[in-house]
Amino acid sequence: MLPYPEIKPYLIKVGPLQIRWYGLMYLIGFASSYLLVNYQIRRKGIGIERRTVDDLYFYIILGLILGARLGYVFFYNLPEYLENPLEVFAVWHGGMSFHGGLIGSVFAGVCFCRKRGLDSWMMADLVIATAPIGLGLGRIGNFINCELYGRVSDVPWAVVFPCGGGLPRHPSQLYEAFFEGVVLFALLWYLKDRVRVAGGLTALFLVLYGVIRFSIEFFREPDPQLGFVVAFLTMGQILSLAMVAVGIAVFAYRRTKV
């Protein structure tokens, strides 16, 4: 059993202003993705200006934030927000959904590509190869924030989270940081020039992330307001199974276009 490390949720605090680790992790994730996408464009000789990439990331980030918030509202706590609709805008109270963020960023990215006449499948593959960086860093931010912790466990590396009822729990945020971040990034970056089907890397991300998230959810404490949604499955697992199905369908569809 391991004690929870005493890490303040903020890096710098000046009066009411704070630079929080969680936000900083996302900033580093977006910056890393942006730089690596520009690197791929230069190396592959794709005729896309950096200003276009700047605009694309503005759309993607906006879509991700809106989608993540609305996804949490609809997937995880709709009755609460129907009773208190103004709470939808209170993002400082927490509540963001990865699956909603993915939907929002995809929608925004596709709209941008169509507006600029870009190949949305090619652009999706460029961006998705870098997405696990932000995912892994975001999970580290969850660990620092003492949120989304794991189920009660007696494994030697179980952590007693101060917000977890004083019981030893799986540090599931770190499991996700490693598998959704490090492992998934290594696989996608290795395969990015080997998958010849446009959109194939995006489909592979959907399948791999879905499988990883589905598996690790068995170690993560279910959301208290939902618990288990269907039998022993959580909402995260149901949405991840949907991701896997969509990924398989996308790959099958894109293969017919080769």
Tokens of 93: 């109270």
Tokens of 208: 């791999």
Supply the pLDDT for residue 87.
Answer: 87
SS3 231: coil
Contact by Cβ (8 Å): 57, 134: no
Tokens of 134: 């932000």
Q: Could you report the per-residue pLDDT of 129-152, keeping only the tens digit for each? A: 999 999 999 999 999 999 999 999
Contact by Cβ (8 Å): 107, 54: no
Tokens of 83: 């009773």
Tokens of 137: 């860093």
Q: Could you report the per-residue pLDDT of 107-119, keeping only the tens digit for each? A: 999 999 999 999 9
The neighbour count for residue 162, using CB atoms within 10 Å, is: 10
Q: Could you report the per-residue pLDDT of 48-86, keeping only the tens digit for each? A: 999 999 999 999 999 999 999 999 999 998 988 999 888
In the sheet where 159-160 sits, what is the strand order? 2-3, 159-160, 168-169
Q: Could you report the per-residue pLDDT of 11-50, keeping only the tens digit for each? A: 888 877 788 888 899 999 999 999 999 999 999 999 999 9
* Matching residue, tokens 């022993």: 232
Helix (H) or strand (E) holding 49: none
| Residue 56: alpha-carbon gap to chain centroid | 18
Contact by Cβ (8 Å): 26, 72: no
Q: Does residue 90 surpass a pLDDT of 90?
A: no
Tokens of 216: 């690790």
Supply the pLDDT for residue 199.
Answer: 96
User: What are the extents of the domains in the chain?
Assistant: 121-255
User: Would you place residue 258 in the very low, low, confident or very high pLDDT band (cuts 50, 70, 90)?
Assistant: low
Amino acid letter, 55: D
* CB contact set of 54 (below 8 Å; sequence gap of 6+): none
pTM of the model: 0.94
Please, what's the b/e burial string for 5-18 (b: 16 or more CB within 10 A of its CB; e: otherwise)? eeeeeeeeeeeeee
Separation between Cα atoms, residue 179 and residue 181, nearest integer Å: 5
